[in-house]
Amino acid sequence: MWPATDLTEELGVRAPILQAPMWGGIATPELAAAVGEAGGVGALGTADMPSDRIADAVAAVRARTDAPLHLDLALAPPTGDGAPVARASAALHPFREELDLDAPDVSPEPEPPTLERQVEAVCGARPAVVSVTGGVPPETVLRTVRSTGALVLATATTVTEGIMLADTGLVDVIVAQGAEAGGPRATFAVPADHGLVGTLALVQGLRAAVRRPVIAAGGIMTGEAIRAALALGAVGVMMGTAFVAVDESGADGTYANAVKTARDDGTVVTRAFTGRPERVVRNRFVMEVADAPIADYPAQAALTAPIRRAAAERRMPELRALRAGQGAALARRVPVGDLMTALEAETGMA
């Protein structure tokens, strides 16, 4: 049996596990539904999904399960520090030549999805949980989300960020995103490389400093780690990398294989793919772009999109954005139901 926590009681679920909302087509409706059916809380990565596609994606989940669903919102990261687009594009020329691609036209520069439209689409879908990353959300956004009755989560990567979020008085639960976490960093109050606090230190720090429940995220791959997070006082865990290689994930075999064969020192935080710091499997692209000019998000994402797409089609993991955390090698290639059953047994808190 899974241990009951304030979170499982509040949401009426069996497992204190939230699947992370994930970029790049990893968090499919099939994955979100399977996690929900197995007793956890499934999620779609709605933060960067075109707002007019959100309703259909949610309907695809609801066709499979009535379980509570988690959708996410992201605040636009600060821009302006990145390299000029033309210089960033020139730096990618060798990759385009290797793959026989033309330079994409990124004029005018793409804008991040407008938050208002995302909020409207996310709230319209009436999810049980809404998480916000990348900053302290405007009060109007928090009030709009709260008015739907959703549980409001906001992500902190430092204790200071947690205090800033709790001080709004409008956030129900703080998600502690430790340095180990795969995918985009949610750091907003300091430069991203200063926000790399380990999950263990962060959960304890937030528990001591913030009078809000905490969900632990980052490097949690086993039931033993779930038990440890609950022992630290977390009300639940959010897991991304653990779900990347499961059958229902949108990751193809090349991606899943690269994640499973990455060592704990085989991931790195980089802006190379999107202009936003994110933890990915270290590969040739990351190493070669590390010192090159990198544009802001989302221009860098638009510049690298054709390269990422072609590399995926040609099964070239060395040029793909393989988002994964430091627990990558512990990802399991099994159906979600089997993963959840194994996690429950390992957690062993009946």
Ligand X SMILES: Cc1cc2nc3c(=O)[nH]c(=O)nc-3n(C[C@H](O)[C@H](O)[C@H](O)COP(=O)(O)O)c2cc1C
Give the β-pairing of 267-270 and 278-281.
antiparallel
Which stretch, 34-42, 55-63, 121-129, 234-242, contacts ligand X (CB under 6 A)?
A: 234-242
Among 215, 323, 339, 343, binds ligand X (CB under 6 A): 323
**Is residue 182 part of the contact set for ligand X (CB under 6 A)?**
yes
Rank residues 83 and 192 by Cβ distance to ligand X and give the closer one.
192
Query: In the structure encoding, which two tokens stand for residue 45, read together?
Result: 């990565």
Ramachandran area for residue 251 (φ above 0: left; ψ -120 to 50: alpha; else beta) = beta
- Is residue 181 near ligand X by the rule CB under 6 A? yes
Indicate which single residue of 17, 20, 154, 311 sits in contact with ligand X (rule: CB under 6 A): 20
Provide the 10 A C-beta neighbour count for residue 208: 9
54 binds ligand X per the rule CB under 6 A: no
What is the C-alpha R_g of the chain? 19
The minimum distance between CB 161 and ligand X, in angstroms, equals: 13
Distances from the Cα of 80 to the Cα of 30, 201, 275, 291, 298, angstroms: 38, 31, 11, 18, 12
Instruction: Give the nearest distance from C-beta 47 to ligand X in angstroms.
Output: 5
Q: Which is nearer to ligand X, 21 or 266 (CB)?
A: 21
CB of 214 to ligand X, least distance (A): 13
Helix (H, G, I), strand (E, B) or coil at 267: strand
Q: Which residues contact 208 (CB under 8 A, 6 or more apart)?
A: none
Residue nearer to ligand X on the CB measure, 235 or 238: 238
Beta strand pairing call for 278-281 and 183-184: antiparallel
Q: Which residues of 305-317 are buried (b: 16+ CB within 10 A; e: fewer)?
A: bbbbebbbeeebb
Interface pattern 97-136 for ligand X (x via CB under 6 A): ------------------------------------x---
Q: Name residue, tokens 């959300």.
A: 137
The rounded distance, in Å, linking the Cα atoms of 50 and 25 is 12
| CA–CA dist 24, 36 (Å, integer) | 20
Residues 236-255 contacting ligand X, CB under 6 A: 238-242, 244
Tell the smallest beta-carbon distance from residue 54 to ligand X (Å): 13
- 183 lies in the binding site for ligand X (CB under 6 A): yes
Place of tokens 């980052």: 218
Report d(CA 310, CA 14) in Å as an integer: 41
Q: Is 158 in the site for ligand X (CB under 6 A)?
A: no
Q: Is 325 in the site for ligand X (CB under 6 A)?
A: yes
Which of 20-28, 98-106, 116-124, 143-151 is the region at the interface with ligand X (rule: CB under 6 A)? Answer: 20-28
Residue holding tokens 């054709």?
306
Interface region with ligand X, contact rule CB under 6 A, candidates 17-25, 77-85, 136-144, 286-294 = 17-25
Question: Which of 177, 187, 283, 347 is the binder for ligand X (CB under 6 A)?
Answer: 177
Q: Which residue number, 195 or 327, has a Cβ lying nearer to ligand X? A: 327
Q: Which of 76, 90 has the CB closer to ligand X?
A: 76
Tell me the torsion sign for CA atoms 176, 152, 50, 245: positive
Kindly identify the residues of this chain, within the stretch 252-281, that bind ligand X according to CB under 6 A: none
Helix (H, G, I), strand (E, B) or coil at 100: coil
Q: Is residue 220 near ligand X by the rule CB under 6 A?
A: yes
The answer to whether the beta carbons of residues 322 and 280 sit under 8 Å apart is yes
User: Which residue is nearest to ligand X, using beta carbons?
Assistant: 240
Interface residue list for ligand X (CB under 6 A): 20-23, 26, 45, 47, 72, 133, 177, 180-184, 217-220, 238-242, 244, 323-325, 327
